Amino acid sequence: MSASPVSSASPVNSASPVGSASRRPSGTAGRRRNPELPSRAGAATRVLLLIDDPHTTVADLAGAIGADPAFTARVIALANSAYYGLSGRVGTLHYAISVLGFQTVRALAVSLAAGLDGPNGAPEGFWEQAALAATAASVIAPLLGGSAPDAFCVGLLHTLGSALLHQREPLPQLCLPFPASVDELNQREVELYGRAHAEEGAAMLASWRFPDRLCALVATHHEVPLPDAPPLTRALGAARVLTDLSLREDPDTAHAEHALRRLSEGKLTATDIAPLLGQVQDRARALLDGLRPR
């Protein structure tokens, strides 16, 4: 097993081609709570349009991001986090984008447009589980033949819907660590909000031009991946297992080892779990410092 840390200088443009429901409006209801969101959604749309264009350069993207001071500050702050090993050395937007890569910039655009940086933008524990899932997914994906930047992006945003629902009224529970019953959690969310968080997040990402394959992963992240599922699907599933291990006070280690061995087609064994978990936790703490709203 060779789950080595992802390079701090990711490829610059890694974007691939790519009942109660009537009681509550869905999709944009959460965004209307914050008057800043329409303009931020517009900035995010411009960034996402550029990222979808294979001819886009760092300069093009810097021009779009630079029009939003909050977005600019967030990109530079994350590039200077210990996660990328360049603390205090990234002073320009161009350099910061090159360090992060386009997929991470895409994820940041969505988090700002969705209001996740606001005081009530996300439930308690949201950024901790997002940092763990993003880190774990990016470490595991190359082992399975998947894209680390894609895995980081979907790991970071796959529970976006939880934050969007929370902005309407406080969320009962996050889905990491794993709930006792996913079905009961989904049903409770449908009763409260009109739809569950996986559907909410996927719909919002689709409206912001995220690739269909990533939206599908977000929509189905509670489904247990089959052993022959695409690498990115299995990487997200494995990342969620590692995130649960990290967050749970009394984790079921034997069950986690079995799940990781199955999802990795035997590449991850029981002896690999402890060092891999330590690596993920250390890097996630460094990432969280750059992600958490200030």
* Domain final residue pick, 106, 136, 161: 106
pLDDT of residue 42: 64
Residues 102 and 227 in one domain: no
Q: Are residues 206 and 288 in the same domain?
A: yes
CB atoms within 10 A of CB 113: 25
> Does the residue 17 lie in any domain?
no
Instruction: Work out the average pLDDT over 169-179.
Output: 96
Q: Is 13 inside a domain boundary? A: no
81 shares its domain with 125:
no
pLDDT digits (tens, 9 = 90+) for 71-101: 899 999 999 999 999 988 999 999 999 999 9
- Residue 24: pLDDT band by 50, 70, 90 thresholds? very low
Looking at the fold, whether 181 and 139 belong to one and the same domain comes out as yes
Is 3 part of a structural domain of the chain? no
Q: Give yes or no: residues 97 and 203 share one domain.
A: no
In a domain, 24, yes or no: no
Which pLDDT does position 31 carry in this prediction? 39
pLDDT tens-digit series, residues 258-281: 999 999 999 999 999 999 999 999
Domain count, the chain: 2
Give a yes or no: residue 9 inside a domain: no
Same domain, 68 and 130: no
Position 37 scores a pLDDT of 47
Indicate whether 1 belongs to any domain. Answer: no
- The whole-number pLDDT of residue 103 equals 92
Q: How far apart are CA 71 and CA 110, in angstroms?
A: 10
Residue 207 confidence (pLDDT): 85
Q: Mean per-residue pLDDT for 131-140?
A: 98
Mean pLDDT of the chain: 86
Output 175-184 pairs: Cβ under 8 A, ≥24 positions apart: 175/222, 176/129, 176/132, 176/133, 176/240, 176/243, 176/244, 176/247, 177/129, 177/243, 177/244, 177/247, 177/248, 178/240, 178/244, 178/248, 182/222
The fraction of the chain above a pLDDT of 70, given in percent, is: 85
Q: What is the mean pLDDT of residues 114-129?
A: 92
Can you give the pLDDT at residue 241?
97
What pLDDT was estimated at residue 40? 55
Which range has the worst mean pLDDT, 1-15, 47-61, 125-139, 154-168? 1-15
Kindly tell me if the per-residue pLDDT of 117 is higher than 50.
Answer: yes
Name the domain boundary from 79, 106, 133: 106
Q: Is the pLDDT of residue 8 over 70?
A: no
- Asked, for residue 23, whether it belongs to a domain, the answer is no
For residue 165, give the CATH number of its domain.
Answer: 1.10.3210.10
State which residues form the domain around 57.
30-106
Co-location of 158 and 237 in the same domain: yes
Query: Which of 106, 126, 154 represents a domain boundary (last residue)?
Result: 106
